[in-house]
Structure 1
Amino acid sequence: MNIVYSSSDSYAPIAGVSIMSLLHNNTDADEINIYMIDNNISDENKKRFENMVDKFGRNIVFIPRPDLNKMSGVDIEVGRWNISTFFRLFLCTILPDNLDRCIYLDCDTVVRHSLREFWETDLEDKIVAAVDDCRSDRYKTELNLPCDSTYTNNGVLLIDLKSWREMNVEKDFLDFIIAHNGNITYVDQGVLNGVLAKKNLVKVIHTKYDAMTVFFDFNFKDLMKVRRPEHHLSEEEYIEAVTDPYIIHYTSCFLSGTRPWNENNNHPFVGDYLKYKSMSPWKDFPQYPDVRKKSKKMMTSVCNAMPKRMMIAGISLVHSKLYPMVRSLKGKRRG
């Protein structure tokens, strides 16, 4: 298996926990080659990565970060994200040419089971596999996608690199970024969906491979009310994903607020994160304090204090209608 991560030095301890979980639960793999896109990782943390991976008899390679602003010719707007989130779109340039397939994992993930079945997924006529992001169709409208198209999350990707090269999708990604002046909703996720979903080249896989925090913060019925997805997973798939996820994706969510590397986090699977942290070279690193802005903390407090039905109605309006509408209007002004 070829596994790709992208990390800065500040995120190295979190990436280290993810890699530890990957190594521990995939001893059945004949080979694991980890490619770490190096966004200024310190020598000390690189040594920690190398020692940890070496104990499992696996390989890790650090690859210099590309200059995406130079490649695109525009200043890419990343908002609250790191520029490294865009790197997954340019893996054909970044990775060795002899790699035909890879799994891309966000650093804020924990792998709980073998990924053999996922790795061997038949993509058929598609060139990437990902989990549905459970969003309103209005997010597709901004990307000029038809309502019945896919819209997936970029946190876990199975990529057919050979086809990406043959189809020169990196040029399409760059053209999309330039056309939007680098300002795209959900950054790289918007780009991948705007280009590949439009061509019907994305295979949607089981949610258990990218179980995001929002799935744990809301039960199925409330999730449907909050996100208002016109096309969505079944309740059976939802239950399977939250009961026994293969890959937990510790995304941020307004309701729970913090994440497992923060003090006093209450994610249902925080124990998994702490378990693999205790097995990693970063086991003695203290949990991070909650350094969110006051407005974010207030949002979490207010949402948890409000009557549930009122909170869900308000958040639903913002997430499914107002936010995508505002983004769409901004896009028209840019055009």
Structure 2
Amino acid sequence: MKVDNLNSELKAKTVVESEPIAIVCAADNKYAMPLAVTMCSVIENLNKNRKVVFFIIDGGIHNTNKQKILKSLVLENCEVNFLSLSDSLLHHVKEVHQPLESETVTIKADYVSITSFYRLLIPLLLPNEFEKAIYLDCDLVVRGDLGELWQADIGDNYVLAAQDSWIPYVSSPTGRLNYQKLGLNTQSKYFNAGVLVINLKKWREDQLTAKAIKYFKQNLEYVGWYDQGILNALLAGQWGEIEPRWNCSPSSVYSYSSWQDSPFSEEDYYNLIHDPYIIHFVSAKKPWNSRHTLLKEYFFQYVDMTAWSGWRLTIWRRLWLRLVREFRQVISVIQ
């Protein structure tokens, strides 16, 4: 069965009266298992009367892994669409990604691939009938009902997002925004782009994708953290805030000694620690490549609900990862 044309064969068997929730993810083949975990966690925590439509921007997922992803899901109220990029759209993404390989870029992250930039293309890839969508990174686990996030009032904002716990303000050292030039206050909040409710209609009308590419080319030295930096610059003052627990990053949240030491209120800090709706593994240490990942038990809880059930980071896998890292370092030195 050809995976890329499964839409008609995977349509829901149960008629659901409420509008479907459109969820977008982007992944390459290396992220096939984490993608399955993210999708499975969405469905497991969603109201059973809700229908969800997944749009997966395909960065090269092998057909066998697509089959495993589909096998991992309860498809009664779920539809899955794998989206391929046209040559013209892929060219736009490469225009943004390639300069980041230059030594002039001081903030780099080897675990951020070109697929991260696919979110800039979401409004161009989804059918026009969808005026709103939820974007999710593939290194997270959903514990809350996304139906609640879907119902949030987006108003005239381009996106809804949560304040970043590691880069809480535009003036934070690692944010690298030219916030003075943008006329922003030092305490203007900076959002994490790993969980977004996107106003597709407004984005399309204002041609935000083209503006994002143009901004990047003109402000390369100010763009830290890739497309997230671009969006924080372009959407300053034009995004709405959601509860921080919709995007909890344990590696940064747990680094605070108390709520007074954090950028959050006491209530928000308590919810982040005790009842996060989404656990986002933002650092280089992911549950599938490190034994020292906070809250990794939630990830493996959902791994065991997928076609990768029983997968663990064994000593042999750790040895293989080390060899791969060392090989890449040698190649880098040679180049």
Fold match by TM threshold 0.5:
yes
Give the direction of change, closer, same or farther, for the CA distance of 1:183–1:56 in structure 2 (3 Å limit).
Answer: farther
Structure 2 counterpart of 1:219, which letter? S
In 2, the alpha carbon distance for the partners of 1:89 and 1:220 equals: 35
- Picking from 144, 152, 161, the partner of 1:130 is 161
- Equivalent residues in 2 for 1:106-185, closer than 5 Å: 106-134=137-165, 135=167, 136=169, 137-138=171-172, 139=175, 141-143=177-179, 144-145=181-182, 146=184, 147-181=186-220, 184-185=223-224
Is 1:8 equivalent to 2:28 in the alignment? yes
Task: Report if the CA contact (8 A) 2:50-2:147 is conserved.
Answer: no
**1:249 is matched with which residue: 280, 284, 287?**
280
1:282 corresponds in structure 2 to 308
| Distance in 2 between residues matched to 1:126 and 1:207, nearest whole Å | 18
Q: How does 1:304-323 map to 2 (within 5 A)?
A: none
Whether the aligned pair in 1 keeps the contact of 2:22 and 2:53 (CA below 8 Å) is: yes
What one-letter code is carried by the residue in structure 2 that aligns with 1:204? E
Contact kept, 8 Å, 1:53 with 1:60, in 2: the verdict is no
Q: Aligned partners of 2:210, 2:188: CA distance in 1, in Å? A: 22
Q: Contact (CA 8 Å) 2:176, 2:224: kept in 1 or not?
A: no
Answering whether residue 233 of structure 2 is matched by residue 194 of structure 1, we say yes
User: Which among 20, 28, 33 is matched to residue 40 of structure 2?
Assistant: 20
Residue correspondence of structure 1 range 10-159 to structure 2 within 5 A: 10-65=30-85, 70-71=91-92, 73=95, 75-77=98-100, 79=108, 80=110, 81-134=112-165, 135=167, 136=169, 137-138=171-172, 139=175, 141-143=177-179, 144-145=181-182, 146=184, 147-159=186-198
Deviations 1:241-286 (A, max 9, x none): 1210001101117xxxx3322353351x222111100111111434
CA distance in 2, matches of 1:108, 1:18: 7
Offset at residue 77 of structure 1 (A): 1.5
Residues in 2 aligned to 1:128 and 1:251: alpha-carbon distance in whole angstroms: 20
Change (3 A) 1:112 1:167: same
SS across alignment from 1:264: coil
Residue matched to 1:317? none
4+ aligned runs moved over 6 Å, structure 1: none
Q: Percent identity?
A: 28
Q: Deviations over 1:103-126 (max 9, x none)?
A: 000001101121111111012231
The correspondence for 2:254, drawn from 205, 216, 225, is 216
CA 1:97–1:55 in structure 2 vs 1: closer, same or farther (change >3 Å)?
Answer: closer
SS at match of 2:235: helix
Q: Partner of 1:155: helix, strand, or coil?
A: strand
- Mapped to 1, the partners of 2:308 and 2:274 lie a distance apart of 28
Work out whether residues 9 and 41 of structure 1, in 8 Å CA contact, stay in contact via their aligned partners in 2: yes
CA gap 1:127/1:216 in 2 versus in 1, 3 angstroms: same
Query: Where in structure 1 are there 5+ consecutive unaligned residues?
Result: 225-231, 295-335
Larger helix fraction of residues:
1
Change (3 A) 1:56 1:283: farther
State the match for 1:311 in structure 2: none
Distance 1:263 1:252, change over 3 A: closer
The size of the alignment, in residue pairs, is 280
TM-score normalised to structure 1 length:
0.76
Unaligned runs of 5+ in 2: 1-20, 102-107, 327-335
Distance of 1:180 and 1:266 partners within structure 2: 34
Question: In structure 2, what is the Cα distance between the partners aligned to 1:119 and 1:107?
Answer: 19
Structure 1 residues 283 and 222: CA distance shift in structure 2, 3 A: farther
Alpha-carbon distance between aligned partners in 1 of 2:99 and 2:67, rounded to the nearest angstrom: 31
Identify if the C-alpha distance between structure 1 residues 260 and 29 changes in structure 2 by more than 3 Å, giving closer, same or farther: farther
Distance 1:128 1:172 in 2: 15
CA contact under 8 A between 1:109 and 1:249: conserved in structure 2? Answer: yes
Q: Deviations over 1:65-86 (max 9, x none)?
A: 3555622656342642101101
**Structure 2 CA distance, aligned partners of 1:241 and 1:221?**
10
Counterpart-to-counterpart distance in 2, 1:59 and 1:279: 18
8 A contact 1:112–1:247 mirrored in 2:
yes
Q: Does the 8 Å contact 1:130/1:152 carry over to 2?
A: yes
The 3-state SS of whatever aligns with 1:87 is: helix
What are the superposed Cα offsets for residues 24-79 of structure 1, whole Å, 9 maximum, x if unpaired?
Answer: 11143521000000000000011112223354441110001355562265634264
Is residue 2:287 matched to residue 1:260?
yes
* Residues in 2 aligned to 1:66 and 1:191: alpha-carbon distance in whole angstroms: 23
| Structure 2 residue 298 is matched with structure 1 residue 272 | yes
Name the CA distance, whole Å, in 2 between partners of 1:205 and 1:263: 30
Give the drift of 1:94.
1.6
Residue 70 of structure 1 aligns with an amino acid whose one-letter code is H
